[in-house]
Structure 1
Amino acid sequence: MSVPRRTAVDYVEDVSPGSGTLPPRAWYASSDAKALSLNGEWLFRLSPAAGAEDDSFAREGFDAGGWGRIAVPGHWVLQGHGSPVYTNHRYPFPVDPPRVPTENPTGDHLRVFDLPPDWPDLGDGGAVLRFEGVESCARVWLNGTELGTFKGSRLPHEFAVGRLLRTAGNVLAVRVHQWSSGSYLEDQDQWWLPGVFRDVTLSHRPVDGVRDFFVHAGYDHRAGTGTLRVDSAVPGRVTVPALGVDVPTGEPVTVPAKPWSAEVPRLYDGVLATRGERVPLRIGFRTVEISDGLLKVNGRPVLLKGVNRHEWHPQRGRALDPATMREDVLLMKRHNINAVRTSHYPPHPLFLDLCDEYGLWVIDECDLETHGFAEAGWRDNPVDDDRWTPALLDRAARMVERDKNHPSVVLWSLGNEAGTGRGLTAMAEWIHGRDPSRPVHYEGDPDCRDTDVYTRMYAPHAEVERIGRGLDGGPRKRRRLPFLLCEYAHAMGNGPGGLADYQRLFESYERLQGGFVWEWIDHGIAHPELGYAYGGDFGEELHDGNFVCDGLLFPDRRPSPGLAEYGKVIEPVGIAGDGGNGTVRVTDKYDTADLSALAFSWSYQVDGETVASGPLPVPPLAPGESADVRLPAPPPDAPPGEAHWLVRAALAADAPWAARGHVVAWGQFPASRRTAPRVPATARPRTGDGVLALGPGTFDARTGALVAIGEVAVGGLRLDVWRAPTDNDEGAAWQSDPRCGPRWRAIGLHRMRHRLDGVECGEDALTVRTRVAPAGRELGLSAVYRWTSDGNRLRLAVRVVPEGDWTVPLPRLGIRFGLRTADRVRWFGGGPGEAYPDTRTAAAVGRWQAAVDDLQTPYVRPQENGARIDVRWAELGGLRVEGDPLFLLTARRWTTERLDAAAHRTDLVPGDTVWVNLDHAHHGIGSRSCGPGPLPRYHLRPEPAEFSFVFSPLPS
């Protein structure tokens, strides 16, 4: 009886995880066994469908002379072969599990290699071929022999190949399909990018070499001791010279040791030696537990100040190099981030080495998401279908076995947005049995049946507070568990807002153990015409636009204002004072570290300039402790003006992640009151030749429009209420709460009309009355401009009264005008970066300056940006402007309307006018691109308002 030949469709659509691979094992970067990297240039051929080409390319003697070449690790769609596809959760192919389309792009890869001269004799042990990551399904041959197949894109797979190797001319052939049954398990809000995108390595496996091992390194905080046991598949010995350890594998030993934590990541170097191999160990002693309803490490509750991290590079996609991974970790540490959720798959293993070394708490997440099934009410969801359970267990095992020896990993996560079902229960049971030392996490389990922590996404502030107070109800088990926001504060475009309000809740209620901002980096793809491309820019049939650009870093890894805000909000030292009683309260907000590594300093500032400074002695407070520290007396020779104290906490010595002097926390508070500008109305209006003069101001006598201040031409000054909606204004389509952007457009706030109702020239003032309203609506704003002068300065007082039935907040409220020339801006107020009502924590009061072009924040999709908050005065284009009350300042070389119409940064072409906005107020930013909108206190309600500005020409 003949056995039918398996076709490409058979193994692509089979729900099993694959065939021919070795069992998963612990990962280690190096040993004294030989290894050969197969990264580099490979031959490549792309076919439009699975099975479109036969398997002859894997046979010996195949002529691939006409093939192209690509880099491995890499994605073929980022190297000129096909195009990437972005969807948030909709599958980009018909949902018919486990079937996938016949139109299934298939990449054939060839690599010819020789063994190095010092490779051990081929009869001395075996060899293992390892793939760290291939999307989404691979079939592998070596020297014409098929090794097997595998799925699980972000997981390692190995084949035993020793019997097939030759000293020279080895031919490795890999066929990769873009779609497979595994694609149904990998719907993870990211670009679909096929290819061999992680390392490929050939390793010699000596006789009696190390295979798998498990480092158990617990810490007893009461005794101050660590207990070490290393279980090994091959017996051997474990040595840790710094601790005097030399014991057989499997034998526990208790030693006086210092614990590992994210704040003090103490690692001990050791060696696991068998008869055939020596493997270096980096051991961190720590114990993770759920105790008293709290997540504790080494006996202390921890507050997670985290980010969700997809792997991303704007040119290379998910093919990251060690330098980029290190850059991520250093940026996190320098912005006070202490935790990472590896959304939504295990990262490159080197990243976890870096987390061990530099110190980050890690939620290691399985390569699993089936979010697209939500479109059909979770019908046919693989995680509740027993046929898929072996594939789910395979994914869980490959994550746990690979990463089990990393002290930074404190929670295992079953995956993300996969609904609920029997498969998840099986995964949780397996993980609990294999590694009871770590709790299990999963957000989509509201009853916490399979999890050890209660976790949610994007819960609004009020609900988070109810949970913190224990008023959330729900199953009894859930009420006894610690709470995490595994995703919150959606960092898409301008924002996220409300971070400080969340952090106050986390620090107020013990059960709330922090959260993870979504997400770390914008997934913009470098594009020669668009700058950075997002969903839809490659002609995708289905896509979710710029929803893929929702990070705290821009694609080129420049920190966004959102990251500066987050770093300030979560700083590990509290510094508070009012300047009135001469003291500052310092609080240690670390989980485990005292303040001995920090040096404190003070400075006394007048009108934004430092007039005196010095060191500030602060005791080495323990975690949670506070002290009131006395400030020096204000300098007696300080000039008059608005004064502030600024207290900084900086590294006292170089740290592995930042140099001495790096500021980790700061606090600023007033030492005197501000004096608002006063302009007595002593000048008299003068008319002639169709113009009206008032002090340094020139106006059109008929319309009352400002024409110039001194020699500076001013154009188009008028009330402005429109801003180019942010991603958070526009909101996600599935949000049930009203979204501001669409409502603003619906009533016409983007096309307001200005009607002149009267121009009154009095003895000491010019008054212009207007009504500002959208076409087709009865509502509007009455705006009265009253101009006065003392002969040298020009004061504008604006009074605004809403008319009609307003049901929406205003985007902004202020004035805008155009200047012909303005290259640089100086200001006294909040800075150095942008800030809005609910994103202002990182704005320090001072004197700042920048080029107009540098005031712009380069969001991938253009939107409202660049406001400087709490401005007292600003100088630009030959003018000085003072405000009462404090105002927000923006200046840009294009109008708000052009900013609103742009889809990419390259759409914004500078004009010959700089448009300046002086805003009395802005609506808050919030997080409604996927989370809650601004809190009510940040709403800009249409209410009567008065504000004023004083203009002065600057000396030429």
Structure 2
Amino acid sequence: MHEAPPPGPLPYYEDVSPGTGALPPRAWTAVSDARRVSLAGAWRFRLSPTAQAEDESFARPGFDCSHWDVLPVPSHWTLQGHGSPAYTNIRYPFPVDPPRVPTENPTGDHLRFFDLPDDWPGGAAVLRFDGVDSCARVWLNGEELGTFKGSRLPVEFEVGEVLRPRGNVLAVRVHQWSSGSYLEDQDMWWMPGIFRDVTLIERPEGAVADFFVHCSYDHLTGEGTLLVECDPQGTVSVPELGLDIATGQSVSVPVEPWSAEVPRLYDAELATEGERIPLRIGFRTVAVEDGVLKANGRRILFRGVNRHEFDPDHGRALDLETMRRDLLLMKQHNVNAVRTSHYPPHPAFLDLCDELGVWVVDECDLETHGFLEVGWRRNPVDDEQWTPALLDRAARMVERDKNHPSVVMWSLGNECGTGSGLSAMAAWIRRRDPSRPIHYEGDRSCRDVDVYSRMYADHAETEAIGRREEDPLEDPTLDARRRAMPFVLCEYAHAMGNGPGGLAEYQRLFETYERCQGGFVWEWIDHGLRRRTPDGRTYFAYGGDFGEELHDGNFVCDGLVFPDRTPSPGLVEFKKVIEPVRIAGDAARGLVTVTNLHDVADLSGLAFRWTYEVDGERTDAGPLKVPALGPGESAEVELPVLAAASRPGEGWWTVRALLAEDTAWAPSGHEVAWTQFAAEHAVPRARAAEGAPHTPRRVEGGLVVLGPGTFDAATGTLRYLDGTAVRGPQLDVWRAPVDNDMGSEWHQDGRLDNRWRALGLHRMHHRVDRVSVGGDTLTVATRVAAAASDLALRAVFSWSATGDRLRLAVEVEPEGDWPVPLPRLGLRLGLPAALETAEWFGGGPGEAYPDTRQASRIGRWRSPVADLQTPYVRPQENGARADVRWARLLRADGSGLRIEGEPSFWFTARPWSTRELEQARHTHDLVAGETLWVHLDHAVHGVGTAACGPGVLPQYRLAAAPAAFAVTFRTEGGGRETPSTLRSGRRPDAPADEGDDL
């Protein structure tokens, strides 16, 4: 039974057509000698709750809007105090009834008054909108120009005959919801408004209507072929190449090709009778050859990111400086490719990609993911009445961006299911621009595309695809065609919260299998909106913080940079994993092997330096002469022979590849790649005299004293260390779940945090079975288990002391068949908060976990405890340092505590408990207390990427298994606390409550 259609024609904002009145789409240029007037600035604004709450009288000249609000344009009105943003990932925030939208349809009326410059020549002109979300109706001086949809695509109207020298009134009515909203379900904030530029552009007689620059490159001859199609005819000059040719004329000359690594651009000028346009052209050819995607005859390896346009204060209204900042950060972290998820970016961004050198997959403004929730019924891409709108979106993308050498693939859109509309888009794009391959991930048959694209395929499946041994398609013809395609992971390594793990293993697959041509990490930036608490503290809001009826929480915060564009540990890790130079040391042979992993560039732009450190202190350093290896080439280089190599202590070589000169994206000395490896033989230091062993002795108050340690005689719990108050240590297995622990239900680990909680790992009980004194040792036997469970960990703590050192040896034995990995296994103890600075010898400077430790370097590091915390938008486990040999926690006067590990340990110190960290929703919920909580972990579970992708690889899972480790404590310096001088408040030896996580 079919529902009856609504009475009468649909209003323009619900009609499936792309709009009315617009000029044909054309190429975008930043400047020309034609006059331009930016209409950015202060507009008058009125918000209505529905599309028809107000009539059209506001568009007439003379309308009194003096009582309206003032709104900056470009902007989103929801970020300017009018309504609220809302976040959903897949689900539409309105009933799925295409093309209808709710009556509750926030509608913003905008008015802009402007005069023409005194020297405005008159004649033809166009009014250009570069981005309006989601549907607009436009009037100029009371005359309706038309309507349009396609939020992140340009539209132009002819306005020359409507303009006045003075007192022009531009009226724009913007609807948040429209039929176009069904095509724009793109995992981001729903935020309406005029969020990109509005520009008035003169169109003199004979001005350029459109042009298409074709710049191919033949890698066999070294020649580039230039052909510029232009309407009307004109000339093209390229002074550096000595070219001055007519448009429509093809010419081949020797050139230097453009690539992401060597973004060679030539200044040119296109001239017609009425307009001159400066161009920057790059010669390059992109093609799929023998099942491999190549540029200029060489295989491309995408070290890419998916990039939404986002700013924590302005949403998608980005300025040029922010776009450049994004690209500089990418280049400085070895990123060479961007997928413009899931819409074309601001056109100026592509100019910057041309200039700085980035491969771009340009994606159409199209996603219908919300139809998944209703079984893909009535999906617009499989409904021919929507096809004109789809073709309109494809054309507006291709025509706008066709002249950018950085754009190497067109993407039809994202997560739209399958349908004939996609096939129509692909066919149109192929006819218009056969020079670029076509991408789309959502159709496993790959019938419309030139590359096989997947998202979140795990490592095993990626390797099978690399071998061209993936599961077959039913249609043998389509199967054979797909197996012959290159493979790209358009999304992988979901960078949500602490992670992503497993990057290095993906990269080895990309480098091993020619077919696997890299991918794009999801995603570049956390979409947290900056907010402040009543007392002025800043935090970042996510889904649900604005009272949304439906929302997807902090799933909008899954980037490699935090909302303020501070690099996360994930970006630092990614930089190391994808570095384009592989450096491998062989201390036994005294050699370093250097391999150039660039696609195009040789190593002439890099300088190499070595350092040698003993116990984290530099003893020597110098340059390393490495030949200018071409792409794929390797060389062995001799290390110097050092007298310092015989110095006692733990010796480490570090070799770094640095920029030899300033570039457009980083200064000379910027580090591109590095390696670190141990000296062949560590010369042991002479062990300092430790003093005679101490014998445990009972004292008044139910205490046992063992060297510098004072213990509770009944429980064996350490109370004081040389007078410093201590809480614990206790065996600990729990961590505040990271976003990847709380991963998707469909994942192999399910919701790992739920499985942990079901076993009670967050609420373990500690039973003391035995406290005994024997010889020089205090032994405490415990059993750690959760209520309602017979799974347990038996732990034996053996305390001994020599001189001023207190040593704890721990043996752990699991009981029962543990069905899940442990979050962590180690010791947790509380110390005075006055220990505010950490020093350590081990991995640093940033955090690391078992599957995110490639960027961790062995050295001596120092940091305020506050700076050890990683401020993930949603607080979670963070801040561990790997491979720590020893750590010191210091007061302001330099006194403190030294901890040594046998073997090395994972070190974490934070001014709040795990319970407090787990319960916090935002960073401002975390308030430093009077206890410094320290974790000394023997092992920790990896983090994986299961928030939307594969979980922790087997080698990084922490199985419950027998373990043995030891730590030694020693106080240092003066100014120690004593029991009589404890800070006021609760005593450290008082019974623990839930807030203390003991």
**Shorter-chain TM-score range:** over 0.9
Residues 317-348 of structure 1: CA deviation (Å, up to 9, x unaligned): 00000000000000000000000000000000
Find the counterpart in structure 2 of residue 16 from structure 1.
17
Residue 673 of structure 1 deviates from its aligned partner by 5.3
Alignment of 1:41 onto 2:45:
no
The separation in 1 between residues aligned to 2:144 and 2:329, in whole angstroms, is 44
Alignment of 1:599 onto 2:607:
yes
Range 256-265 or range 666-675, more displaced: 666-675
Find the counterpart in structure 2 of residue 526 from structure 1.
530
Find the counterpart in structure 2 of residue 890 from structure 1.
908
Find the counterpart in structure 2 of residue 3 from structure 1.
none
The separation in 2 between residues aligned to 1:54 and 1:262, in whole angstroms, is 51
Residue 737 of structure 1 deviates from its aligned partner by 3.8
Range 244-253 or range 575-584, more displaced: 575-584
Aligned AA (1:154): R
Find the counterpart in structure 2 of residue 829 from structure 1.
842
SS at the partner of 2:573?
A: helix
Out of 245, 248, 257, the residue aligned to residue 247 of structure 1 is 245
Range 571-580 or range 308-317, more displaced: 571-580
Residue 639 of structure 1 deviates from its aligned partner by 2.8
The separation in 2 between residues aligned to 1:7 and 1:646, in whole angstroms, is 75
Residues 362-392 of structure 1: CA deviation (Å, up to 9, x unaligned): 0000000000001111111000000000000
Find the counterpart in structure 2 of residue 857 from structure 1.
870
Find the counterpart in structure 2 of residue 140 from structure 1.
138
Aligned ranges 1:272-311 → 2 under 5 Å: 272-311=270-309
State whether residues 286 and 435 of structure 2, in contact with CA within 8 Å, keep that contact through their aligned partners in structure 1: yes
Find the counterpart in structure 1 of residue 732 from structure 2.
720
Residue 9 of structure 1 deviates from its aligned partner by 5.4
The separation in 2 between residues aligned to 1:198 and 1:176, in whole angstroms, is 13
Aligned ranges 1:213-224 → 2 under 5 Å: 213-224=211-222
State whether residues 8 and 50 of structure 1, in contact with CA within 8 Å, keep that contact through their aligned partners in structure 2: no
Aligned AA (1:708): Y
Aligned ranges 1:142-181 → 2 under 5 Å: 142-181=140-179
Find the counterpart in structure 2 of residue 483 from structure 1.
487
Residues 1:208 and 1:781: Cα distance change in structure 2 (over 3 Å): same
Find the counterpart in structure 2 of residue 234 from structure 1.
232
Residue 107 of structure 1 deviates from its aligned partner by 0.2
The separation in 2 between residues aligned to 1:269 and 1:711, in whole angstroms, is 73
Residues 271-306 of structure 1: CA deviation (Å, up to 9, x unaligned): 000011100010000000000100000000010000
State whether residues 744 and 750 of structure 2, in contact with CA within 8 Å, keep that contact through their aligned partners in structure 1: no
State whether residues 694 and 791 of structure 1, in contact with CA within 8 Å, keep that contact through their aligned partners in structure 2: no
Which sections of structure 1, spanning at least 5 residues, go unmatched?
1-5
Find the counterpart in structure 1 of residue 520 from structure 2.
516
Alignment of 1:118 onto 2:126:
no
Find the counterpart in structure 1 of residue 796 from structure 2.
784
The separation in 1 between residues aligned to 2:151 and 2:418, in whole angstroms, is 22
Out of 795, 799, 802, the residue aligned to residue 807 of structure 2 is 795
Identical-pair percentage? 67
Residues 1:637 and 1:292: Cα distance change in structure 2 (over 3 Å): closer
The separation in 2 between residues aligned to 1:701 and 1:103, in whole angstroms, is 69
State whether residues 393 and 427 of structure 1, in contact with CA within 8 Å, keep that contact through their aligned partners in structure 2: yes
Out of 922, 926, 933, the residue aligned to residue 915 of structure 1 is 933
SS at the partner of 2:878?
A: coil
The separation in 2 between residues aligned to 1:466 and 1:788, in whole angstroms, is 54
The separation in 2 between residues aligned to 1:919 and 1:601, in whole angstroms, is 34
SS at the partner of 2:494?
A: coil
State whether residues 456 and 484 of structure 1, in contact with CA within 8 Å, keep that contact through their aligned partners in structure 2: yes
Find the counterpart in structure 2 of residue 684 from structure 1.
695
Residue 638 of structure 1 deviates from its aligned partner by 5.5
Find the counterpart in structure 1 of residue 439 from structure 2.
441
Aligned AA (1:630): E
SS at the partner of 2:769?
A: strand
Find the counterpart in structure 2 of residue 210 from structure 1.
208
SS at the partner of 2:371?
A: helix
Find the counterpart in structure 1 of residue 888 from structure 2.
875
State whether residues 207 and 276 of structure 1, in contact with CA within 8 Å, keep that contact through their aligned partners in structure 2: yes
The separation in 2 between residues aligned to 1:810 and 1:680, in whole angstroms, is 38
Range 682-691 or range 760-769, more displaced: 682-691
The separation in 2 between residues aligned to 1:779 and 1:581, in whole angstroms, is 49
Residues 121-162 of structure 1: CA deviation (Å, up to 9, x unaligned): x2xx30000000000000000000000000000000000000
The separation in 2 between residues aligned to 1:637 and 1:93, in whole angstroms, is 69
SS at the partner of 1:716?
A: strand
Paired residue total: 948
Residues 1:702 and 1:457: Cα distance change in structure 2 (over 3 Å): same
State whether residues 781 and 800 of structure 1, in contact with CA within 8 Å, keep that contact through their aligned partners in structure 2: yes
State whether residues 748 and 951 of structure 2, in contact with CA within 8 Å, keep that contact through their aligned partners in structure 1: no
Aligned AA (2:149): K
The separation in 2 between residues aligned to 1:348 and 1:738, in whole angstroms, is 38
Residue 792 of structure 1 deviates from its aligned partner by 2.0
Out of 251, 254, 257, the residue aligned to residue 255 of structure 2 is 257
Range 640-649 or range 800-809, more displaced: 800-809
The separation in 2 between residues aligned to 1:81 and 1:637, in whole angstroms, is 67
The separation in 2 between residues aligned to 1:8 and 1:861, in whole angstroms, is 47
Find the counterpart in structure 1 of residue 319 from structure 2.
321
Find the counterpart in structure 1 of residue 83 from structure 2.
82
The separation in 1 between residues aligned to 2:416 and 2:45, in whole angstroms, is 34
State whether residues 841 and 861 of structure 2, in contact with CA within 8 Å, keep that contact through their aligned partners in structure 1: yes
Range 233-242 or range 530-539, more displaced: 530-539
TM-score (structure 1 length as normaliser): 0.98
Out of 949, 960, 965, the residue aligned to residue 931 of structure 1 is 949
Aligned AA (1:748): G
Alignment of 1:941 onto 2:959:
yes
Alignment of 1:546 onto 2:557:
no
The separation in 2 between residues aligned to 1:805 and 1:261, in whole angstroms, is 55
Residues 620-656 of structure 1: CA deviation (Å, up to 9, x unaligned): 0000000111000123475310001100000000001
Aligned AA (2:677): F
Which sections of structure 2, spanning at least 5 residues, go unmatched?
1-6, 473-478, 891-895, 975-998
SS at the partner of 2:331?
A: helix
Alignment of 1:743 onto 2:755:
yes
Residues 918-939 of structure 1: CA deviation (Å, up to 9, x unaligned): 0001100000000000101100
Find the counterpart in structure 1 of residue 923 from structure 2.
905
Residues 1:672 and 1:875: Cα distance change in structure 2 (over 3 Å): farther
SS at the partner of 2:426?
A: helix
SS at the partner of 1:730?
A: coil
The separation in 1 between residues aligned to 2:371 and 2:589, in whole angstroms, is 60
State whether residues 611 and 638 of structure 1, in contact with CA within 8 Å, keep that contact through their aligned partners in structure 2: no
The separation in 2 between residues aligned to 1:378 and 1:680, in whole angstroms, is 75
Aligned ranges 1:192-591 → 2 under 5 Å: 192-474=190-472, 475-529=479-533, 531-591=539-599
The separation in 2 between residues aligned to 1:558 and 1:672, in whole angstroms, is 38
Range 676-685 or range 403-412, more displaced: 676-685
Residues 1:444 and 1:921: Cα distance change in structure 2 (over 3 Å): same
Residues 1:742 and 1:753: Cα distance change in structure 2 (over 3 Å): same
Out of 756, 759, 766, the residue aligned to residue 754 of structure 1 is 766
Alignment of 1:615 onto 2:613:
no
Out of 730, 747, 757, the residue aligned to residue 742 of structure 2 is 730
Residues 1:166 and 1:665: Cα distance change in structure 2 (over 3 Å): same
SS at the partner of 1:506?
A: helix
State whether residues 531 and 906 of structure 1, in contact with CA within 8 Å, keep that contact through their aligned partners in structure 2: yes
State whether residues 333 and 657 of structure 1, in contact with CA within 8 Å, keep that contact through their aligned partners in structure 2: yes
Residue 695 of structure 1 deviates from its aligned partner by 1.7
The separation in 1 between residues aligned to 2:907 and 2:501, in whole angstroms, is 19
State whether residues 827 and 871 of structure 1, in contact with CA within 8 Å, keep that contact through their aligned partners in structure 2: yes
Alignment of 1:98 onto 2:102:
no
The separation in 2 between residues aligned to 1:292 and 1:572, in whole angstroms, is 24
The separation in 2 between residues aligned to 1:398 and 1:56, in whole angstroms, is 31
The separation in 2 between residues aligned to 1:954 and 1:732, in whole angstroms, is 47
